[in-house]
Amino acid sequence: MALKEHQSPSGGLNAAGRKHHGVKAPVNKGTNPRRVSFAARFAGMKGPMKDEKGKPTRKALALRKWGFGSVAAARNFASNNKKS
């Protein structure tokens, strides 16, 4: 779980959080294997896209950061670009 100081308000991790957890920045376009993998993982993730106040959840913000508008968009992208 990311600490608050590692979270970017626009979704995902900020530079300090990425350094702390040893991960790379999101890839928001193209068919990069990391993006396909992210889409496949998040396509099956349960949970709402908006909280009880109508604000986007961390899940929705992360999807947007990676260039997906919805779980369905991530699912379609993953299924069309997955190598078998």
Predicted confidence (pLDDT) at residue 2 exceeds the cutoff of 80: no
Closest among 33, 9, 28 to 68, alpha carbons compared: 28
Q: What integer pLDDT is reported at residue 76 of this predicted model?
A: 97
Indicate the pTM of the whole model. Answer: 0.83
Query: What is the SS3 assignment for 50?
Result: strand
Q: Is the pLDDT of residue 12 over 90?
A: no
Q: Say yes or no to pLDDT of 46 above 90.
A: yes
User: What is the average pLDDT across 33-47?
Assistant: 94
Is 4 a residue whose pLDDT tops 90?
no
Query: What per-residue confidence (pLDDT) applies to 79?
Result: 95
